[in-house]
Structure formats: C-alpha cells, structure tokens
Chain A
Amino acid sequence: MAHAATHDHHDHHGAPSNFFVRWCMSTNHKDIGTLYLVFALVMFFIGGSFAMVIRAELFKPGLQLVQPYFFNQMTTMHALVMIFGAVMPAFVGLGNWMIPLMIGAPDMALPRMNNLSFWIMPFAFALLLSTLFSAGGAPAGGWTMYPPLALQGGSVAQMVFAIHLMGISSIMGAINIIATILNMRAPGMDLLKMPVFVWSWLITAFLLIAVMPVLAGAVTMLLTDKYFGTSFFNAAGGGDPVLYQHIFWFFGHPEVYIMILPAFGIISEIIPTFARKPIFGYKAMVFAIASIAFLSFIVWAHHMFAVGLPLGAEVFFMYATMLIAVPTGVKVFNWVSTMWGGSMTFETPMLFAIAFVILFTIGGFSGLMLALAPADFQYHDTYFVVAHFHYVLVTGAVFSIIAATYYWLPKWTGRMYSEFWGKMHFWNSVIWVNVLFFPQHFLGLAGMPRRIPDYNVAFANFNMISSIGGFLFGASQLIFVGVLIHAVWGSKKKATDRVWEGAKGLEWTVPSPAPFHTFEVPPVINDEELAHGHVDH
C-alpha cells in the first residue's frame, strides 16, 4: 500500500473495476460525492414515506390509520432523517463533487477521512432506523429531543449514539472542506475569486465544526440523565429542562443555516449562468453569508420565546433575529438584480432557482413574523411554524439541491437529462408543494397545534387540501428519479464541456463527464472565465 502511494494518481487514470474496492475504499472526491448524493436520495424517500404517513393520518380529523405513539415516531423520524440523512449529506455530496472542480484541486485535502465521513452515515442511519423495529419503538419526543419527554420514550441510547456518529461524520467532513478550500486552491484562485458556492461551504463548514460538538454535548447529557443518574435537566436536582433547550438551540440555529447557506451558494451559481450576467454584488454576497453565519450564534433563544425567558432575553433575541433580515435581504436583492436586464432562459435548474428565490423569501417573511416575541406566543408550536420551516427547507434547501442536481448532472454523467421531464418535475413540484404547505399557514394562525395525530373538525378542509398536495408532491419526486435514471443510463444526448451557454467557472473547463481524476496539474486561472466576472480588491 505504502509503495503505491506516490504513484497512485499517475498509474490509475480510470476508476477501479472491482465494485467493493471502488465504492468502499475510495479516495476519490467524485465517487464519494456520488455516494453521498445517492445516500441522500434514498433517505429523502425514506423520510418522505414517513411524511406520507403523517399526511395520511391528518387527511381527516379523528384517528384514521396509526396509533398516536406511532404518529409521534413518524414526526420525529421524518425530521431526523430529512435533516441529518437527506439535506445535510446532499450538500456534502455536492461540495465533494464540485469544490475541488471549482477551485482547481485534484481532490479533497484529506481523501481517506472523506471516505470515513461518508461511510459512517449509512451505519448511523441503520442504528437510528433499526429502532422502528425495536420493542420500545423509534424516538417519539420530536427531533429536538426535549427532556423530559424524549427521555420517557424508548430507544434513547440508539438515538443518542446515532447522533454522535452523524456528528463525527459532519465534523470530519467540515474539517476536510475547510482544509481543501484553504490549502488546495490552484495558483491564482484567490479567496475573493472563489465561486460563491465555495464561499458558502467554507462558512458552513466553520458552523458545522462549531456546533456539532455542542449537539454531541447536549445529547450526551440526555444519555447520562437517562441511564447514569445525572440531573442536568432535572429540576429536583437543581437542573433545568430549559438548559437543554438553550444548549440544543445553540446548535440548532446555526444548524438551520448549515442547511441553507450552501443553498444560497448554489442559487448564486445558477442564476448568473442562465441570466448570462455575472452575479450582482459578489463581495456583498460573500459578506452577507458571513454576517448570517455570525448572527446565527446569537439568536438561538427565538426558538424558546414561550418557555418563560426573562424579558431582557426576549427583547435581545427578538431584535437580533430581525437583524438577519438585513443580510438575507441583500442576497435576495442581488439575485433579482443579477436577473435584471439579463438574457434569461428557463431551463430546469433556472426554474428551480427562481422558485427558490420567491418561495424561500415567503419562508423568510413568515420567519420575520415568528421573530416577533409578542406575536410568537400566538404562533408558537402551531402549524404556522411547520409552514414556515417547510418553506425554507423544502422550497429552500431541497429545491436548491434539485436545482444543483439538474445544473451539474450533465457534468457528472456526460449526458443531458430530459428537459421535458425536468420541467414536468418542476411544475408538479412547485404547484403541489404550495398546495401542501400554504394552507398550513392558515391552520397555524387559526390555532392548530403541530405534532398531533388528531385535530378539531374546524381544521378539516385545509388539512385535506394539504394532504392532497403532500401526496402529489411526494409522487412528483418519482419523476425526478425517472429523470435521473434516464440521464445516467438512458439518455443519448451528449453534454458539451460547457453544458450551458452562459456557464463560467473552472468546473466547465473539464470534459463532460468529468474524468476520474481532474486538475492533477494546477490549472491556469483566467479571471474573465470566473462566474462573477472581474473583482477588484
């Protein structure tokens, strides 16, 4: 093994033919990125099937299909699987595939650790999902795992250890991304020449390293409170359940941005390509991402307005939260300004990107409403919150991942996907996702609580509409799978190297499909070919 080390990338220009060797022992950022993306897609459907159970139960008032305790398992597992299994690995997969290509690096800085980061994930989810078949059932106390409720259900140890594993994976993945970006850039690829997607991942990786250990600490305290007799969250012993919420949300709020900052980066790549204009305000975009990341550390208690915080804390966290609207507004303004006066075409990635800008902004506005502490007493724990975070996570994070997939798929496979079916996927998704989540705003404002299997008959109509939207949105994603299978194995239409007429950046200078090894010799950077044009600094 040691002898081959220095010669590896000279000797093997293709992928190894042995299946196990190629996929389980990989040190190739493209293969590991593919593994992440496929894993995320599988988890998206597992988490989605849990959501289907939830919407089926809520189709009509009264208990229809499942027992309340199982319903609670579904809400908990849906969130854990979608957050840690689908959205985060999808972004890591995109980062793995694209960051080395975008900065002109031959691979990630620490390729073996990269492989470990991935392979922990299937095992972590095997541990978590196995609880569905255990006697005590899956975790049912909500994905936030608030004590004492979360400690009263079964499978606390499995949940905690699964989260430890996911955390280890995320931290190693983030360390790798930082080392790659800071250490592996091609000569001339200055920090302020990097694509916005790379910048967004650099900042996201910092957030991950800062907060995943805090989550590990929080769940470790849950574990010791449950099994080893500590009193961190037990008032009788001088602890406080609210302490858990503080620690959890110190992780949880940056976590929310971990799931959206790479999305900002993706949208900032796609819109300039299809508007055929450099991004408007490149530096402002970078500084806005950094500002949002900084603010994410001082707003956590806006998730806890209703727990009885001191007045000073309510006021501080309310104003700090509203500040986030400023850099986010800068970003939305710049995306719109990039499109302004551009020669726009509307291929599938651009459609998803425009839908992102509009629908994510709706989610941002409902977030602003929730940020108002006095008003939050009314909205707290209602379907309004559910509507809010699904707008930012589904039409935000998930739409950006889908957009990125369509955008870079020809580069990955060397073949064009079916534009017709891509557009079918888009229009079905964008219509049904609004049928699914928009009525939930009304339900929440009318007072329907979240995380319940049954509800007042007054909420029946909107729930039925929402469920119909949910089933059809879920079914629409099968089109996506069809498009992917066709693009990988069936499509006859070869992609050009540049793929999109207006595409700029290093990733479009390599052949399609991208060869197994790229940039073994550092590329020469031509400033005019960068996605955001020439930047003075």
Chain B
Amino acid sequence: MGQQQGAYFVPTKSSWPFVAAVVMFTTMFGASHWLSAQPSDTSFGKTVLTIGIVGVLAMFFGWFRSVIRESLAGNYNDQVDRSFRMGMLWFIFSEVMFFGAFFGALFYARMFAVPWLSGEGHGVLTNQFLYPSYTGGWGAAGGNGPAHIGGNFETVTAWGLPLLNTLILLTSSVTVTIAHHALKSAHRGRVLVFLGLTVLLGALFLYCQAHEYMEAYKELNLTLHSGVYGSTFFMLTGFHGLHVTLGTIMLAVIWFRVLKGHFTKEHHFGFEAVAWYWHFVDVVWLGLFMFVYIL
C-alpha cells in the first residue's frame, strides 16, 4: 500500500457534492418541520420533504451516472479502486455500529430495564413504590412495561415467516456468490440468472416482511406502540428491512449494469461492493433472527 508509482488520479470538479448537501438539507428541513408542526399544519413540511426526497433520488442518479461514465472511460486505476474498497468497508462498519446501538437497546431493555422495573437487583424500591403489580417478563408477558403501553399483544413466532425469511436471505447469499464466481469466469448469462434470482429473493423477503408486519398489527396487536418490546422489535426489523430494500435496489442496478456489459472479470468493484453490502444485511438478519425472534 502507498507504494504505487506514477501519476495519481484526482477527479475533476463536480457540482454533485454541493447538490447532495442541498437536497439532504431540504429533506431534513422538510421532515423536521413536518414532525414539529401542529397536526393541522403539516403540508409545508410534507411538501418540502417530498421535494427533498425527489432531489436525493435525482442526485444519486446523477452522481452515480457520472461515476459510472468515468469508470467506463477507464479513469480509475488500482489506487482509486483500493480507496473505493476501503470506503465501502468502513461504511459497512459504520452501519454495523448503527445496528449495534439498537441491539444494545434490546439487550439492555431485556436484561436490565425490565427486570429492574419488576424489582430485581437494585430495582426493589422502584418496583415497590411505583409499579407494585408489575412482574416483568419479556415478549407478551410484560415486554410493554408496567403501564401495558399498547395493550395486550402476542409475539411473532420464530418458526413461521421469520424462518422462511432466514432461508430466503441465506439462499440469496449463495446465489449472489455464484453470480460473483460466474462474473470472475466471464459467464455473463449465468451472472444475470443468479443475480436476478438474488434480486427476486430480496423482493420476496420484503414481501414476507410486509406480510408479517400486517399480521402483527392486525391480528397480534403487536405495534410500534407496544412498549419497549414493540419499539425494539419494529425499529430493529424496520431498519433491517430498509437496508434490504436499499440492497435490493442496488442489486437491481447492478443487474442492469451487467446486462449492459459494464463489468469485466478483473474490474467489477460496483458488483463486489453491493455483494458485500448484501452479506452484511444477511448477517444482521441472523442476529435479528436469533435475538429478536428465537430467544
């Protein structure tokens, strides 16, 4: 590393970063005004938020288009390639830490907050004076706290849709790896088939997840409002679902790029970055399946 000889590549000026800052600000400004406005007065915030989101999408489209063009023009040497790889790896690490915060909240609520509220350890007096009838427990047996916020609910069983979703994601990891090997041996047809399968599996996962959410809201009365159980359940699975959505879109974009012949068997970092991201999403799901659904 750092040993490469010869000319460096420094990219040309671009207005996309500035545009990105403007549209990100527009999105956040709109969202904050929508949330903090009186219920009768949310239209300004919603309008600005919509403009911002459309702007963010357009920005991603434009910025990536210019990057893809530069890549196809052969501007990116090995050093740039390494910088991109490091960028993607550290980005995924930051995502791991983001999920870490929510897993931390889950473990803390389950191992400490709820037991202490029910009188364990140094929570004896809290329980005695504030919530004498609360006996704790997790899931349906007390996961929504002493005030039973959100009312009685039932939990999603691990061995139904969640198990199916686990199998779907694990299979998709296999298919994306087969596609990668096919790309490295320059079998474009096989890449398209297996990458396409991966996209479909991602979409299928999202369909099952949506189905599970509807069932939770309509039949189990498990909602975002179901105390800390509902909060951790929906925030963890929801953020994961959001990442699967992004990953599926990224895989679909890569599928079209394969179709257009953007990748060679040596140079296909775009493919690899998305594959790494997909594996990351997969690993987070295994954590979710274990700690949110099974245990």
Q: Give the total of A residues in contact with B, Cβ under 8 Å.
A: 96
Quick check: A127 and B17 within 8 Å, CB to CB?
Answer: no
Contact of B79 among A111, A164, A184 (CB under 8 A): A184
**What residues of chain A lie closer than 8 Å to B232, measured between beta carbons?**
232
**What residues of chain A lie closer than 8 Å to B161, measured between beta carbons?**
none
Per-residue 0/1 for A105-120: is the Cβ within 8 Å of any B Cβ (1 yes, 0 no)?
1110111110110011
Quick check: B108 and A246 within 8 Å, CB to CB?
Answer: yes
With A217-B101, A238-B143 as given contacts, are A231 and B86 in contact (CB-CB < 8 Å)? no
With A178-B86, A231-B228, A238-B227 as given contacts, are A247 and B235 in contact (CB-CB < 8 Å)? no
Quick check: A165 and B25 within 8 Å, CB to CB?
Answer: yes
Per-residue 0/1 for B202-231: is the Cβ within 8 Å of any A Cβ (1 yes, 0 no)?
000000000000000000000011011111
Contact of B25 among A126, A218, A228 (CB under 8 A): A126
Quick check: B83 and A186 within 8 Å, CB to CB?
Answer: no
Interface residues in A492-506 by Cβ distance below 8 A to B read none
Interface residues in B151-169 by Cβ distance below 8 A to A read none
Quick check: A210 and B7 within 8 Å, CB to CB?
Answer: no
Quick check: B13 and A237 within 8 Å, CB to CB?
Answer: no
From B28, B230, B234, residue with most partner A Cβ within 10 Å: B28
With A25-B18, A119-B18, A123-B22 as given contacts, are A5 and B11 in contact (CB-CB < 8 Å)? yes
Contact of A247 among B3, B24, B104, B116 (CB under 8 A): B104
Quick check: A2 and B101 within 8 Å, CB to CB?
Answer: no
- If over half of A's interface residues share one DSSP class (helix, strand or loop), that class is named, otherwise mixed; here it is helix
Asked whether any CB of chain B lies closer than 8 Å to the CB of A62, the reply is no
- If over half of B's interface residues share one DSSP class (helix, strand or loop), that class is named, otherwise mixed; here it is helix
Asked whether any CB of chain B lies closer than 8 Å to the CB of A536, the reply is no
Per-residue 0/1 for B78-118: is the Cβ within 8 Å of any A Cβ (1 yes, 0 no)?
01001110110011011101101110110011001110110
Interface residues in B58-86 by Cβ distance below 8 A to A read 66, 69-70, 73, 75, 79, 82-84, 86
Cα distance A76–B94 in the bound complex, in angstroms? 27
Asked whether any CB of chain B lies closer than 8 Å to the CB of A341, the reply is no
Quick check: A237 and B10 within 8 Å, CB to CB?
Answer: no
Cα distance A174–B17 in the bound complex, in angstroms? 16
With A158-B32, A232-B105 as given contacts, are A119 and B14 in contact (CB-CB < 8 Å)? no
Shortest Cβ distance from B250 into chain A, in angstroms? Answer: 18
Quick check: B149 and A224 within 8 Å, CB to CB?
Answer: no
Asked whether any CB of chain B lies closer than 8 Å to the CB of A227, the reply is yes
**What residues of chain A lie closer than 8 Å to B143, measured between beta carbons?**
238
Cα distance A214–B100 in the bound complex, in angstroms? 7
Which of the 9-residue segments A43-51, A149-157, A327-335, A468-476 touches chain B?
A: A149-157
With A25-B18, A115-B17, A175-B87 as given contacts, are A185 and B2 in contact (CB-CB < 8 Å)? yes
**What residues of chain A lie closer than 8 Å to B35, measured between beta carbons?**
157, 223, 227
Cα distance A155–B37 in the bound complex, in angstroms? 10
Quick check: B13 and A25 within 8 Å, CB to CB?
Answer: yes
Quick check: B98 and A106 within 8 Å, CB to CB?
Answer: no
Contact of A237 among B4, B21, B112, B144 (CB under 8 A): B144
Quick check: B11 and A175 within 8 Å, CB to CB?
Answer: no
Asked whether any CB of chain A lies closer than 8 Å to the CB of B295, the reply is no
Shortest Cβ distance from A243 into chain B, in angstroms? Answer: 5
Shortest Cβ distance from B9 into chain A, in angstroms? Answer: 7
Cα distance A9–B247 in the bound complex, in angstroms? 35
Contact of B228 among A26, A174, A237 (CB under 8 A): A237
Cα distance A123–B69 in the bound complex, in angstroms? 29
From B73, B97, B235, residue with most partner A Cβ within 10 Å: B97
Contact of A183 among B1, B11, B113, B150 (CB under 8 A): B1
**What residues of chain B lie closer than 8 Å to A232, measured between beta carbons?**
105, 109, 228, 231-232
Contact of A243 among B20, B36, B109 (CB under 8 A): B109
Interface residues in A438-473 by Cβ distance below 8 A to B read none
With A119-B21, A185-B1, A238-B114 as given contacts, are A127 and B102 in contact (CB-CB < 8 Å)? no
Asked whether any CB of chain B lies closer than 8 Å to the CB of A136, the reply is yes
Contact of B86 among A27, A120, A179 (CB under 8 A): A179
Quick check: B15 and A238 within 8 Å, CB to CB?
Answer: no
Asked whether any CB of chain A lies closer than 8 Å to the CB of B142, the reply is yes
Cα distance A103–B228 in the bound complex, in angstroms? 49
Quick check: B86 and A228 within 8 Å, CB to CB?
Answer: no
Asked whether any CB of chain B lies closer than 8 Å to the CB of A481, the reply is no
Contact of A3 among B11, B14, B73 (CB under 8 A): B73
Q: Give the total of B residues in contact with A, Cβ under 8 Å.
A: 80
Quick check: A183 and B82 within 8 Å, CB to CB?
Answer: yes
Quick check: B79 and A183 within 8 Å, CB to CB?
Answer: yes
**What residues of chain A lie closer than 8 Å to B20, measured between beta carbons?**
116, 119
Contact of B98 among A122, A217, A521 (CB under 8 A): A217
**B16 (CB) vs chain A CBs: closest residue:** A112
**What residues of chain B lie closer than 8 Å to A490, measured between beta carbons?**
none
Quick check: A239 and B14 within 8 Å, CB to CB?
Answer: no
Quick check: B101 and A127 within 8 Å, CB to CB?
Answer: no
Interface residues in B125-153 by Cβ distance below 8 A to A read 130, 142-147, 149-150
Asked whether any CB of chain A lies closer than 8 Å to the CB of B122, the reply is yes
Quick check: A520 and B227 within 8 Å, CB to CB?
Answer: no
Quick check: B2 and A183 within 8 Å, CB to CB?
Answer: yes
Contact of A234 among B83, B100, B114, B145 (CB under 8 A): B145
Interface residues in B227-265 by Cβ distance below 8 A to A read 227-232, 234-235
Quick check: B145 and A231 within 8 Å, CB to CB?
Answer: yes
Contact of A119 among B17, B87, B144, B227 (CB under 8 A): B17
Per-residue 0/1 for A235-256: is the Cβ within 8 Å of any B Cβ (1 yes, 0 no)?
1111110110011001000000
**What residues of chain B lie closer than 8 Å to A165, measured between beta carbons?**
24-25, 28
Quick check: B28 and A164 within 8 Å, CB to CB?
Answer: yes
Shortest Cβ distance from B218 into chain A, in angstroms? Answer: 18
Shortest Cβ distance from A213 into chain B, in angstroms? Answer: 4
Interface residues in A162-196 by Cβ distance below 8 A to B read 162, 164-165, 168, 171, 174-176, 178-180, 182-187, 189
Shortest Cβ distance from A207 into chain B, in angstroms? Answer: 11
Quick check: A182 and B2 within 8 Å, CB to CB?
Answer: yes
Interface residues in B1-57 by Cβ distance below 8 A to A read 1-5, 7-18, 20-22, 24-25, 28-29, 31-33, 35-36
**What residues of chain A lie closer than 8 Å to B95, measured between beta carbons?**
213
Asked whether any CB of chain B lies closer than 8 Å to the CB of A230, the reply is yes
Asked whether any CB of chain B lies closer than 8 Å to the CB of A14, the reply is no
Quick check: B235 and A161 within 8 Å, CB to CB?
Answer: no
**What residues of chain A lie closer than 8 Å to B75, measured between beta carbons?**
2, 5-6
Quick check: A110 and B12 within 8 Å, CB to CB?
Answer: no
* A–B complex contacts, Cβ < 8 Å, 23 sampled: A2-B66, A25-B13, A107-B8, A110-B84, A116-B17, A127-B28, A155-B32, A157-B32, A157-B35, A161-B29, A178-B90, A179-B86, A182-B86, A187-B5, A210-B97, A213-B94, A213-B100, A230-B225, A231-B149, A234-B149, A235-B130, A240-B113, A247-B101
Q: Which 9 A-B pairs have the closest CB atoms?
A: A217-B101, A238-B145, A185-B2, A123-B25, A119-B21, A230-B231, A236-B147, A116-B17, A213-B98
Taking Cβ atoms with an 8 Å cutoff, the residues of B that contact A are 1-5, 7-18, 20-22, 24-25, 28-29, 31-33, 35-36, 66, 69-70, 73, 75, 79, 82-84, 86-87, 90-91, 93-95, 97-98, 100-102, 104-105, 108-109, 112-114, 116-117, 121-122, 130, 142-147, 149-150, 224-225, 227-232, 234-235
Using A123-B22, A221-B235, A238-B145 as known contacts, list a sample of 16 further A-B pairs with CB atoms less than 8 Å apart, ordered by residue number in A. A2-B75, A6-B73, A112-B16, A113-B17, A127-B25, A157-B31, A179-B82, A183-B83, A185-B2, A214-B97, A229-B224, A229-B225, A237-B145, A238-B227, A246-B104, A522-B8
